[in-house]
Structure 1
């Protein structure tokens, strides 16, 4: 399944069974949820480079979700990858990778950071946030784009005697200035309302839970 979110910065989402690939339009990197046995073929077949994968998130330790992980990591090593890779998963993930490296006599030339999934905020940067809703050994995820700043009302600023200068960019950020006469100049008065970013949910839990429905109800797209 392929989904284009034209009203947001989420360029394309592709879902295959329990695997989800997200490519943000403002980033070159690819975010991968789970890693099935044929994930490399699926990624390359959809005109993406596996070397662009920056984050891998495993919802659980089921074999269908991580059977292609070691092969993907080995392929990245053969490609001469240098940049680090972040992998998020359950607490047993580190032992799983160490045992695979030990018995296959494999080492990677790039740094792999292992993060243990816990309920709450998992990833936060300037472009998006990812939350984990964990139940026992399964995790559901909520991907939320950053809030979009409203358009700056230049005509309103000019009518108030503000000539175009560097002050415009600061007012657009919502900053407040105190003028010499004691008046306050608020940036929110010269901008439109901020727009909420897109919200996408990835649900691995197949059971009905009220908390899931309440949390994920505002999503534009929900993947099961």
Structure 2
């Protein structure tokens, strides 16, 4: 536990990217203790502009400049984050060796990459704090090896990978086969909900529907996808 701020990581094993939610004081020390390399952090998501959530962000951004492997860092935050970073950068006389993109969150979906979406819903009319939902795209079903090898007599090779990705292929005899018939039903991706606290918040049915992980205040964890 760093402090009373909610700070956690989501590490994607598919892309090796790390998404950092909030950056309190002592954040870098916690990353080192958990053997997280800071150059893997490509996205920083701020749930509010409270000092407990942003006090360590300039130190982290400065440390990222020391790594030659960092090309771009995205910061997602509520209105006011751009002005805060401008002033902090001016008075600390800090320069960044990478491209820093600041995304001002208002409402709706944000595309992180082709596999994940971030949904932001403000908790108040002034957009000071947000409820976040991280949505993972559905996963392709398990490949039916028996059907491909024993029934259709398809030889093992790259063709199996193309069928698993639901490609349509023309066989030597002129017949057309579709990969969607060689996989089981797709499985639902993860749905992770962030809440600042569990009190005095009215949740819509859409947010709680098919929830796989609930994250709320006073928890510091690392999650792997």
Shorter-chain TM-score tier: 0.7 to 0.9
Query: What does residue 15 of structure 2 align with?
Result: 27
Pick closer, same or farther for the CA change 1:96–1:154 going to 2, 3 Å: same
Offset at residue 134 of structure 1 (A): 2.3
Offset at residue 75 of structure 1 (A): 2.1
Offset at residue 182 of structure 1 (A): 10
Query: What does residue 196 of structure 2 align with?
Result: 204
Task: Please report the RMSD computed on the Cα atoms of aligned residues, expressed in angstroms.
Answer: 2.9
Q: Does 1:157 align with 2:137?
A: no
Q: Does 1:139 align with 2:134?
A: no
Pick closer, same or farther for the CA change 1:15–1:46 going to 2, 3 Å: farther
- SS of match in other structure, 1:100: helix
CA deviations on 1:73-108 (whole Å, 9 max, x unpaired) are 122224456421111111211111111111222222
Q: Does 1:125 align with 2:117?
A: no
Name the TM-score, length of structure 2 as normaliser.
0.80
Pick closer, same or farther for the CA change 1:16–1:172 going to 2, 3 Å: farther
Pick closer, same or farther for the CA change 1:28–1:81 going to 2, 3 Å: same
Distance 1:184 1:82 in 2: 45
Greater shift, 68-77 or 159-168, is seen at 159-168
Distance 2:3 2:193 in 1: 12
- SS of match in other structure, 1:123: strand
Q: Does 1:104 align with 2:92?
A: yes
Query: What does residue 41 of structure 1 align with?
Result: 29
Query: What does residue 173 of structure 1 align with?
Result: 165
Distance 1:186 1:76 in 2: 46
> Which protein has greater RCO, CA pairs closer than 8 Å, 6+ apart?
2
Greater shift, 173-182 or 143-152, is seen at 173-182
Pick closer, same or farther for the CA change 1:155–1:92 going to 2, 3 Å: same
Distance 2:68 2:152 in 1: 58
Q: Does 1:187 align with 2:156?
A: no
8 Å CA contact retained: 1:15, 1:21:
no
Offset at residue 174 of structure 1 (A): 2.7
CA deviations on 1:200-222 (whole Å, 9 max, x unpaired) are 221226532132x5413422211
Query: What does residue 223 of structure 2 align with?
Result: none
8 Å CA contact retained: 1:81, 1:109:
no
Match among 207, 210, 219 for residue 218 of structure 1:
210
Q: Does 1:59 align with 2:59?
A: no
Name the TM-score, length of structure 1 as normaliser.
0.80
Offset at residue 33 of structure 1 (A): 0.5
Offset at residue 18 of structure 1 (A): 1.1
- SS of match in other structure, 2:64: helix
Distance 1:170 1:199 in 2: 28
Task: Give unmatched runs, 5+ long, in structure 2.
Answer: 217-225
